[in-house]
Amino acid sequence: MAYQPNPARYEAMEYRRCGRSGLQLPAVSVGLWQNFGEKDAQANCRAILRTAFDAGVTHFDLANNYGPPPGAAEEMFGRLLRTDFQAYRDELIISTKAGYGMWPGPYGDGGSRKYLMASLDQSLRRMGLDYVDIYYHHRPDSDTPVEESMGALDALVRQGKALYVGLSSYSPAETRRAVAVLRELGTPCLIHQPKYSMLVRDPEQGLLDVLAEEGVGCIPFSPLAQGLLTDKYLQGIPDDSRVARNLGNGALEENQLTPANIAKAQKLNALAQERGQTMAQLALAWVLKDPRITSVIIGASKPQQVTDAVGSLANYQFSAAELARIEEILQG
């Protein structure tokens, strides 16, 4: 049966302005790094995307290399766009990226103009799109002049293949430089995508301040530390979990389920229960409490995880005592 989105989808979601731009993003966005590969069941992928859109999630985050194999997530997304979301293209913010190894030879990795421009053409073909809303340089490349990488992003906007551009995993100094180059070119940097969660605090060491000063939005990835900041691993390793699937390529591994991390998770879970939240909701609320954060990008292997994440918006206020208790737990 043809998909009929929830007519009330815009009522429950909160939208936040992305830096000093005209674009608003949902406070919860969904990423397709995992669970949208060649071997993942299309019916489940469809259910995740429909649940998200029905809850007001308008932003879906991809990259050239998401799968496995690389490219498969964009292909899966393209198929579901055609069957379910074609009529809603103007209600969607779709992002993709290039920066990690994608194809053999010297032009399929890094930050050259050659790579960034060819890769976006490939991504557009895989997704069946004329343009993406946001195109990112996925990671800094110290072997390529930043003027070249940013020049490629600017050119792609002028060609109409991307509406906005962003940076991912650039340090505060690299961000400052890239933002200045983009501004000079006339294509402002919309957004930065850093890894940030209760367990990964690096953006607090300067990046968040740079983004606020420059008027650039911030959309943290892995805000649930890939599942560590949920109740998932409190009683062992479930068969259907990311750890049990042993995915490699940066996915959560068993050796990260240390006794110290599990002890933190147990204590955070107790606090979440006191607040009337799930632990995933606590972890997302903790990131979203900062007004410099535009959105969080979660991953999901099941539709209910999206619903759970959106529930975090019901309460992202913390008392000073709760914040102090969280710091104490995190310092172990």
Ligand X SMILES: NC(=O)c1ccc[n+]([C@@H]2O[C@H](COP(=O)([O-])OP(=O)(O)OC[C@H]3O[C@@H](n4cnc5c(N)ncnc54)[C@H](OP(=O)(O)O)[C@@H]3O)[C@@H](O)[C@H]2O)c1
Closest CA to 99 of 73, 66, 76, 60: 66
The kind and range of the H/E element at 78 are helix 72-80
Nearer to ligand X, 35 or 58 (CB): 35
Q: How far is the CB of 265 from ligand X (least distance, A)?
A: 11
User: What are the tokens at 184?
Assistant: 């000079």
- To ligand X, the closest distance from the beta carbon of 139 in angstroms equals 7
Q: Is the Cβ of residue 230 or residue 269 nearer to ligand X in the bound state?
A: 230
For helices 279-288 and 303-310, angle between their N-to-C axes, nearest 10 degrees = 50
Shortest distance, position 34 Cβ to ligand X, whole Å: 5
The CB-of-198 to ligand X minimum distance in angstroms stands at 11
Q: How far is the CB of 244 from ligand X (least distance, A)?
A: 8
Question: Which is nearer to ligand X, 52 or 146 (by Cβ)?
Answer: 52
3-state secondary structure 8-37: CHHHHCCEEECCCCCCEEECEEEECCCCCC
Contact positions vs ligand X (CB under 6 A):
31-35, 61, 138, 168-169, 193, 221-227, 230, 232, 241-242, 280, 297-301, 305, 308-309
Q: Which is closer to ligand X, CB of 243 or CB of 326?
A: 243
> Which of these, 307, 288, 297, lies nearest to 54 by C-alpha position?
307
Sequence-distant (6+) residues with CB within 8 A of 243 are 227, 233, 237, 252, 253, 254, 256, 257
Residue 282: CB minimum distance to ligand X, A: 11
Which is nearer to ligand X, 52 or 156 (by Cβ)? 52
> Beta strands of 75-203 (E only): which ranges?
93-98, 132-137, 162-168, 189-193
CB 77 within 8 A of CB 127: yes
| Shortest distance, position 16 Cβ to ligand X, whole Å | 17
Q: Would you say 120 or 298 has its CB closer to ligand X?
A: 298
The one-letter code for the residue type at 54 is D
Contacts of 256 (CB under 8 A, 6+ apart): 228, 243
Gap between the terminal Cα atoms of the chain: 51
Instruction: Select 54 or 61, whichever has its Cβ closest to ligand X.
Output: 61
